[in-house]
Amino acid sequence: MTNKTDFSINKKLKTLSLIAIIFTSLSLASCANQQSTTLYEQLGGMEKLELIANNFVNEIAFNEEIYRYFEETNIERFTEKLVEQLCVMSNGPCTYTGDSMAQVHAGMQITENHFNLTVDLFVAAMDKAEVPHRLQNQLLKEMAKTRDEMLYK
């Protein structure tokens, strides 16, 4: 009797172990798929990047201190190139076709304070686009790589 009971328990344990292994494998595969998505995909693709860029233009328009840097700017081109740049920075399927940050900001003498204020406006634009803070931080990290090309030029 004991042998039959032991056999039944062992069979149930093996079945449970197999189920646990399958479940773990599926969970890991799911995590791997989530981790392999690009920031571009996590943000919501081109539609979300366009929304962020348009929100940012609106933020700039209502900020007298920063607007002066954009008074002579072709806003359509600026928005288009910003979307391209955000797409590239988030590992999207785009190619940036605009001028370098150093070229665009040459002669502007952007101060640390104005740079930081512009970052705040960009964060507000992402907030209005309902971008989660975790993704905002990832995008800002990529954007920060161009900081030195903008300040005091």
Specify the pTM: 0.76
pLDDT digits (tens, 9 = 90+) for 41-68: 999 999 999 999 999 999 999 999 999 9
- Average pLDDT in the 27-45 region? 74
Q: How far apart are CA 16 and CA 110, in angstroms?
A: 64
pLDDT of residue 151: 86
Look at residues 120, 96, 111 and name the one whose alpha carbon lies nearest to residue 150: 111
> Residue 24 — pLDDT band, cuts 50, 70, 90?
low
Residue with the bigger pLDDT between 62 and 12: it is 62
- Measured in degrees and rounded to the nearest 5, phi and psi for residue 110 equal -70, 125
What is the model's pLDDT at position 7? Answer: 58
The average confidence (pLDDT) of the chain is: 86
